[in-house]
Structure 1
Amino acid sequence: MQFGIFTVGDVTPDPTTGRTPSERERIKAMVAIAQKAEEVGLDVFATGEHHNPPFVPSSPTTMLGWIAARTERIVLSTSTTLITTNDPVKIAEDFAMLQHLADGRVDVMLGRGNTGPVYPWFGKDIRDGISLAVENYALLRRLWREDVVDWEGRFRTPLQSFTSTPRPLDGVPPFVWHGSIRSPEIAEQAAYYGDGFFHNNIFWPKDHTERMIDLYRTRYAHYGHGTPEQAIVGLGGQVFMRRNSQEAVREFRPYFDNAPVYGHGPSLEEFSAQTPLTVGSPEQVVEKTLSFREYAGDYQRQLFLVDHAGLPLKTVLEQIDLLGEEVVPVLRREFAKNRPADVPDAPTHASLVAAAAADTDTDAVKA
């Protein structure tokens, strides 16, 4: 099972000091967070894509390429790449290039985004969101898997004898996660292709998350990719830790109360009771995270949000230290207990290359 960090890249004033970091500071902080995540033994660093203030990660592959040059092991991902407003040709090229630069330590999470004005900024209509996601991904898959593509659709100019370059590393595209918190159509899309489904459940109660994941698992099996238990599932979560739970609540409360995405709404206690948010000791984070398996089943990837709402970099790096030293080792051990042998690990470039080679050998034997 993979554990990691995801960031939304918000530039938010620190409510305890009133200081707002510069965009440069925030971008550099995200790089430092990725390096720290690798240092403490986490598996994944993922960055969102946003094109509006107060967020800075408008070019995820640029950032991930920079991080790739400064790390050796950690998997680099997005959370998410906007399949609706990006040209699938450019996604195909950018992520294949990143694969080569990062020696395969790359996957991608596709999503529609949650900022309505982005659509017209890129010449799209939000009412076409689902249709764009379906059509653009169908093209993206072909661009990665076919050397020469002829294609015509609704939302971009036709392609004639087009070859996307560079080709995917070792002939194997990055593994794709489809990220959604509320759209059953996206769960269906992930299931249809046998891809991963990531439910970033940071805002949602567990019964909603359970319904979405059950839908994906059921449809994954329907399309013949394996049993429902073998479907590839990822979850989000957000944490703030101190050794003492009362200290954690006291320190985090002003950040929660003024956060750009959920501040000035439910209280910290109400939000924590209804969602995966955990503010407390490392032991409390372990306990709550382990409870996710009760409604999501055995899953493959757990990403934590730790750097939002104006938290200073020093505090964020302390959170990652606690994850690496006291939380993730326990989670690895406990999630491994009673995990059925036929539940797969999270796909990696190496495992995908091996699977492709096995398929080739099987086809050769049949021939």
Structure 2
Amino acid sequence: MQFGIFSIGEVAPDPLGGRTPTEHERIKAMTALAVRAEEAGLDVFAVGEHHAPPYVCSAPPLLLAHVAARTRRLILSTATTLVTTNDPVRVAEEFALLQHLADGRVDLMTGRGDTPDVYPWFGQDLRQGHELARENYALLHRLWREEQVDWRGRSRARLDGFTSTPRPLGGVPPFVWHAAVRSPETAERAAYYGDGFFADNLHGPVEHHARLVDLYRTRYAEHGHGTAEQAVVGIGGQVFVRARSQDAVREFRPYFDRSRAYGGRYSLEECAARTPLVVGSPDEAVEKILGFREAYGDCQRQLFAVDHGGLPLKTALEQIDLLGERIVPVLRRELAVGRAPAAPPGPRHPATRPRAGALG
């Protein structure tokens, strides 16, 4: 199983110190997080796409290309790429080029996003969101697999014998995850294509996303890609750990209370009980994360947010170190026990090789 971190690039004030980082500082911080993730022995770094304040990463391929030059092993992914408002031709070109720059260490996570305003900004209609996602991904899928594409659709100009360049590295496209917060249509699309499904869960009840995963697994098998156990599942969440659980709760509470995602919905204790949020000691974190297997089955990837809600860079780097030293090694060992023989490893491009001892 692969473990990593993701960032949505939010610029938020630190409720303890009161200071808000600049956009420049926040962008540089995301690169620092990625480099530290590789140093800590994690497998994946992912970054989300947003086009309005308070977020700064409007062009994930550019950031990931910079990270690719600073790392050697880390798998680079989006979390997510807006499949509804991005031109599939540009996505095909940019991520194939990124594949070559990173020697295959590239994934793509597609999603519809959670900002309705973005649709008119890019000349699209929010009411056509599901249709845009369906049509745009169908074209992207073909562009990476066919040398010459003829295309007639509703969302973009026609294509006649079009060849996307560069071609995917070694003829193998980036692995695609379809991310959803609540959409069964997304789970169905992932299953139809035999792609991965990512339960994009930062603050939702675990049981809700477990139902989406079950739907995806069932439909993956029905579409003939393999058994339900062979489906490729990723899960998200946030972690905040300290040596003592009471210290973790005390330190994280101000960030939780003022978070755009969490604040005002329910208490920290209620959220930690119902959602993937992990706040406590390393041992408590391990225990809760191991419990996700009961809800989701054997998964291929787990990503953690470590810099959400105004957490300063220093604190986020400490979280990565704790993941690498105290949490992920235990999870690798424990999750290998009883893993279904049919469960696939985490996706990797053939041009890459797992590091020694990894249980990807």
The TM-score with structure 1 as length reference comes to: 0.95
Shift of 1:264: 2.8
Q: Which amino acid counterpart does residue 62 of structure 2 have in structure 1?
A: T
Shift of 1:94: 0.3
Q: Which amino acid counterpart does residue 162 of structure 2 have in structure 1?
A: F
Q: How does 1:212-251 map to 2 (within 5 A)?
A: 212-251=212-251
Is 1:12–1:260's contact at 8 Å kept on the other side of the alignment? no
The residue number in structure 1 matching 2:358 is none
Q: Which amino acid counterpart does residue 198 of structure 1 have in structure 2?
A: F
Q: 1:135 to 1:352 in 2, by over 3 A?
A: farther
Is 1:172–1:352's contact at 8 Å kept on the other side of the alignment? no
Structure 2 CA distance for aligned equivalents of residues 210 and 340 of structure 1: 18
Q: Which amino acid counterpart does residue 265 of structure 2 have in structure 1?
A: G
Aligned with 1:348: secondary structure? coil
The residue number in structure 1 matching 2:88 is 88
Q: RMSD of the alignment, in Å? A: 1.1
The residue number in structure 1 matching 2:129 is 129
Shift of 1:316: 0.5
**Post-superposition CA distance 1:295-335 (Å, at most 9, x none):** 10011000001101111111100000000000000000011
Structure 2 CA distance for aligned equivalents of residues 100 and 307 of structure 1: 29
Gaps of 5+ in 2: 354-360
**Would you say 1:106 and 2:119 are equivalent positions?**
no
Gaps of 5+ in 1: 354-367
Shift of 1:266: 1.1
Structure 2 CA distance for aligned equivalents of residues 191 and 17 of structure 1: 46
**Post-superposition CA distance 1:179-235 (Å, at most 9, x none):** 001010110000001000000222211221111011000000000011111100000
More helix by share: 1
The residue number in structure 2 matching 1:291 is 291
| Higher mean displacement: 260-269 or 30-39 | 260-269
Identity of aligned residues (%): 67
Aligned with 2:308: secondary structure? coil
The residue number in structure 1 matching 2:170 is 170
Structure 1 CA distance for aligned equivalents of residues 175 and 7 of structure 2: 20
Q: 1:352 to 1:150 in 2, by over 3 A?
A: farther
Structure 1 CA distance for aligned equivalents of residues 98 and 173 of structure 2: 11
Is 2:45–2:76's contact at 8 Å kept on the other side of the alignment? yes
The residue number in structure 1 matching 2:357 is none
Q: How does 1:15-164 map to 2 (within 5 A)?
A: 15-164=15-164
| Higher mean displacement: 123-132 or 199-208 | 199-208
Structure 2 CA distance for aligned equivalents of residues 246 and 207 of structure 1: 27
**Post-superposition CA distance 1:144-193 (Å, at most 9, x none):** 01111110101101011111111111011000000001010110000001
**Post-superposition CA distance 1:253-298 (Å, at most 9, x none):** 1111111222133111111111111111011110000000001001
Q: Which amino acid counterpart does residue 210 of structure 2 have in structure 1?
A: E
Structure 2 CA distance for aligned equivalents of residues 183 and 241 of structure 1: 31
Is 2:104–2:351's contact at 8 Å kept on the other side of the alignment? no
Structure 1 CA distance for aligned equivalents of residues 193 and 351 of structure 2: 18
The residue number in structure 2 matching 1:255 is 255
The TM-score with structure 2 as length reference comes to: 0.97
Structure 1 CA distance for aligned equivalents of residues 15 and 28 of structure 2: 21
The residue number in structure 2 matching 1:363 is none
Structure 1 CA distance for aligned equivalents of residues 42 and 341 of structure 2: 23
The residue number in structure 2 matching 1:279 is 279
The residue number in structure 2 matching 1:300 is 300
Structure 2 CA distance for aligned equivalents of residues 27 and 285 of structure 1: 28
Is 2:104–2:352's contact at 8 Å kept on the other side of the alignment? no
Is 1:9–1:27's contact at 8 Å kept on the other side of the alignment? yes
Aligned with 1:343: secondary structure? coil
Q: Which amino acid counterpart does residue 164 of structure 2 have in structure 1?
A: S
Aligned with 2:198: secondary structure? strand
Aligned with 1:18: secondary structure? coil
**Post-superposition CA distance 1:333-362 (Å, at most 9, x none):** 011001122211012101899xxxxxxxxx
Aligned with 1:210: secondary structure? helix
Structure 2 CA distance for aligned equivalents of residues 17 and 206 of structure 1: 32
Q: Which amino acid counterpart does residue 263 of structure 1 have in structure 2?
A: G
Aligned with 1:350: secondary structure? coil
How many residues end up aligned between the 2 structures? 353
**Post-superposition CA distance 1:93-122 (Å, at most 9, x none):** 000000000000001000000011011110
Structure 2 CA distance for aligned equivalents of residues 305 and 322 of structure 1: 13
Aligned with 2:343: secondary structure? coil
